Amino acid sequence: MTTPSSPEPDLIPLLSPRALYKIAALALLLVALTVVLSFSGRRIGEYLALAGHTASRQTYDILIGQDHLRLPANVIRFESQRATNIVERLDLYLTWPALEGYSDETRLIFNDLNRPENLIFLQITQSTMSRDMSGRFVPVYRHVLADRPQAGPAGLTRYDAKPKSSYAGEVFFTAERDGRPPYVLRCLLPESPASSTSADCQRDVHIGKDLTVLYRFSSKLLPQWREIDDSVETFIRERSVP
């Protein structure tokens, strides 16, 4: 005698429609996050690679005291200063000897820390002293320098600061120039050329109506002091707006 088979239980789906919806939504969210992270990662990577530099040549009108400068973005060192504005200070950096800003062509120069002689740095402010470095040599610096000068590179005369003076460890270089104030330069010379930096030597000059331009460069460039001084002055004058 056969017995009637018991009814089979209803089949219950392993995943409810609500669970499937949640899984699909999560998958879409993960895909969206992957796309965002991929795009953001590229943007962040590009930003880090630039390290604050910009290749933009957009020009800005910058007012410092009585002077008006017009400069491209890629020679302005800090991002916060890349704007048309009235400022107290402006920082620039330039390749040497071409005096160019950051670009795809000069990128390696700006990123090569082992070649400090490839860049010079400028700091531009409104003048706060009546004399620049040339004018301060006799009344300020000469009293703290050793009495016996030495011959320096490329026609320069070297003076070492007295050990007990506030300038101890520094070296001053001077040179006479026809029809112009004497050239004066301050340096902290490295122990060896290998430890040179882009700020070994500095000089400030008055340019324009009321600007002080302080520029710094590697001591490896001392033989080119004439060219650097003339080039810096020309660069600023050519970018001054009457």
pLDDT the model gives residue 28:
74
Across the strands, what pairs with 95?
A: 119
Q: Give Cβ neighbours of residue 232 (< 8 Å, ≥ 6 apart).
A: 120, 122, 205, 213, 215
Q: What is the pTM for the complete model shown? A: 0.80
Dihedral-angle region of residue 139 (phi above 0 means left; psi in -120 to 50 means alpha; beta otherwise): alpha
Mean pLDDT over the full length of the chain:
88
Across the strands, what pairs with 202?
A: 186, 216
pLDDT the model gives residue 234:
98
| For residue 6, pLDDT beyond 60 | no
Strand runs (DSSP E) across 2-118, as ranges? 59-64, 67-72, 85-86, 89-95
Give CA–CA dist 98/166, Å, rounded: 36
- The length of the chain is 242
37 — phi, psi (to 5°)?
-65, -40
Predicted confidence (pLDDT) per residue in 119-166, tens digit = 999 999 999 999 999 999 999 999 999 999 999 999 999 999 999 999
pLDDT the model gives residue 26:
74
| For residue 187, pLDDT beyond 50 | yes
Predicted confidence (pLDDT) per residue in 51-109, tens digit = 699 999 999 999 999 999 999 999 999 999 999 999 999 999 999 999 999 999 999 99
Q: Give Cβ neighbours of residue 129 (< 8 Å, ≥ 6 apart).
A: 136, 212
pLDDT the model gives residue 136:
97
Whether the Cβ atoms of residue 165 and residue 146 lie closer than 8 Å to each other = no
Nearest one of 192, 190, 191 to 200, comparing CA atoms: 190
| For residue 8, pLDDT beyond 50 | no
Whether the Cβ atoms of residue 66 and residue 210 lie closer than 8 Å to each other = yes
| For residue 36, pLDDT beyond 90 | no
3-class secondary-structure state, position 212? strand
Q: Give Cβ neighbours of residue 205 (< 8 Å, ≥ 6 apart).
A: 132, 133, 134, 212, 213, 215, 229, 232, 233
Whether the Cβ atoms of residue 156 and residue 172 lie closer than 8 Å to each other = no
Joined together, the tokens standing for residue 152 give 């320096």
Give CA–CA dist 13/77, Å, rounded: 65
